[in-house]
Structure 1
């Protein structure tokens, strides 16, 4: 959530930067500024009246101690009206704060100055490409056919048990899933990320803290009887570990990683682009989350991008890095890099990771602050990234590594799988 003080003091900059995300609502910005002026005016009135009431209360106490009861009672009679004023001003202040909050949560995060303007994925900037595109024979199969051929993923059985988008992994397919999870967690541990095993359900306060609510209710599975949500990513519970927390400046950056299943209701369209593992309702992912000093967050963003690229290199997957344009960025992000791998049999790029800097947008919602040895607390910056999401990684490994003998396993995964070939 944007800070109202920043909006008030930088109206034109806010309008210009929001326009990069194609959010053009000057009337909303002006309404927020007006509500904030009214709120500050009422707050000032309330503080002044409370100070006057406190002064009179002190005067009453002094008179009583001096034995001047009649004078004390006279002064006390004058304080009744002040208490009524304070109560009325308090109600007015609460009303204004609620109105202001309801308007602030409509605003997306401001994009970084380097974010290009654009309306959709076709306007994202390709930062780099790495690796050679595999040349497969004409009879190469897409991963959904390979899954059936080697009996490692059963989409129909998953549909029977739960519905479309909930595959069943079997045999070497299940072992490869587990191998990828352990490999990603071990690599994160080598980079000093602390492993977390969080809940996979969150409450409304957690969903609000990281910006999923009230923006993405339709994409989340809701447990109505308990008013809980299945997590769309480990970002939500792990970042919320620090809700209403003041950390020490010397502790920054704080690095956490977590493996969780993730749940998203967004699947539902048809065609090869969403077939098989390309888009699921439930999938596995290892997530990185960092809490950073504002002066260091963009350096850390680049480091996280480089780290994810290192995983893709070790897996032998050709990839490219995209800098997302304003129109393709999430509601909460200030800058995002997407990593896409080449899926050879489908002959298309598939997104496998997003690495984002949210600056202080989430921290403001979370009331996540840091404080040095001297000075008042200030908002931290939050970042996260997929390292990595499994379904499309698995799809690419199956398609890119298919041979006449079977599907070869990347060398770095063999110690985790215990086999070098799916046949």
Structure 2
């Protein structure tokens, strides 16, 4: 995948625009470029990006800066969109305060189950922290209040091409970005990278592997099972069927999947690829399975009307006992295992399932021992 050009997220664009506007207010100079910090990463905790500022100017007592989103070679609907930050500054005493708002073209959350509370602008926690960090850099220790309003003039139009309407996010797009950069999503390239990684494991005489759906699920698994060599952990992302088939083709006989509740539900439904744009959670089926696990009728009804898997999990954790949730998790894992077996009959499968806060919900039903070096 190295031949594909990386880009940056809407969160990084918003942070750069906020910093540029504030620098203009404080110093009277409109920057052509700004450097912004990226969300903290275990491997590269201080990584930064230099972002071009398309334009920057004074509006009454505020400043507006515009950054054009560059998604690199990723097929992102927001590629090329203008991300605006309208910023005002009020000097004061005490600690810095950043008042962050969403304006025109930034969605508003209307349904529970997302990372942002109902009624709030759809600016995810990671980008919120990134914007505030960029503001702190711009003020360089000064005290006062920075009011930052993020706007996306094309946001309402772009949102129709996303999942936002289905998720109850209205009037615009979401400001996203867990890592601050966009890694191009090429199906063929990613699938090929999974196959190549499996070949490396097989070439070293390994017969077991851990598939993860991303960096966080990989990290959480590694924290729970620290003795497994890193080469045996492969980010298979959404490629459920491909990963299983490729594992069997390379002679591997034991697989663990490390994932979160939503991906487990999708695998339990039997999707060959669990990407959000082609694999919707069947909340009626999930609610039925909750009922089979012992959830009360009113909760089953709420699950059927849920908006996200996160919301269903939260309902189960707050409204039922641990035994009911445990039965459901084991049932979902059993269903997922049956589908995995249909893709790769000769591979034994187990599931490590994690909560969104990082706690482990389900341990695999068999133990993967470290592969020999």
Structures share fold, TM-score greater than 0.5: no
TM-score (norm 2): 0.24
**What's the TM-score, normalizing by structure 1?**
0.22
Q: Which has the higher contact order (CA 8 A, sep 6+)?
A: 1
Please tell me whether Structure 1 or Structure 2 has the larger radius of gyration of its CA atoms. Answer: 1
